[in-house]
Amino acid sequence: MSIMSIWQRFLRWWHDHKNPPPPPPGKPTAGFAVSFNGLAVSCLDMSTDVGSYIASEIWEWGDGNASVNVAPGDQSHTYAKAGTYTITQTVTDATDQSDSVSHSVTVSDNAPPPEKYNIGAEQAGGSFQKPTNA
């Protein structure tokens, strides 16, 4: 083997190791946090993707309803009745890879009662009558 061929092999090895091909895009990771008030839930989208971007999301609310092909971001939903439901989020990135995550929530229609004493007559749709002295 000549010095020139050794040198060419070294340069090829050096080039290949100094400039490796980029890693393939990572798989997206679905994630969300839930807060709720009465029958209404709000989901804070915490999904991530390395090397690509999340192109669409599907939210299954566990009551037969779904939000399909929505743009990434926070979502909300109101249930018709109290109960325990499983919310599933599926995210798909621009390379058509996907991931899903589910959380169970228990919602109740026992929301706090409205203020009874600080509502003005106009807001309540009524009128005041002054008591008469007997």
Neighbours of 104 (CB within 10 A): 10
Instruction: Look at the chain and count its residues.
Output: 134
pLDDT in tens, 15-36: 776 666 666 678 999 999 998 8
Domains of the chain: 32-107 (2.60.40.10)
Q: How confident is the model at residue 126 (pLDDT cuts 50, 70, 90)?
A: very low
Instruction: State the number of CA atoms in the 13 A half-sphere of 78 facing the CB.
Output: 5
Amino acid at 114: P
Assessment of whether the complete model's pTM goes beyond 0.75: no
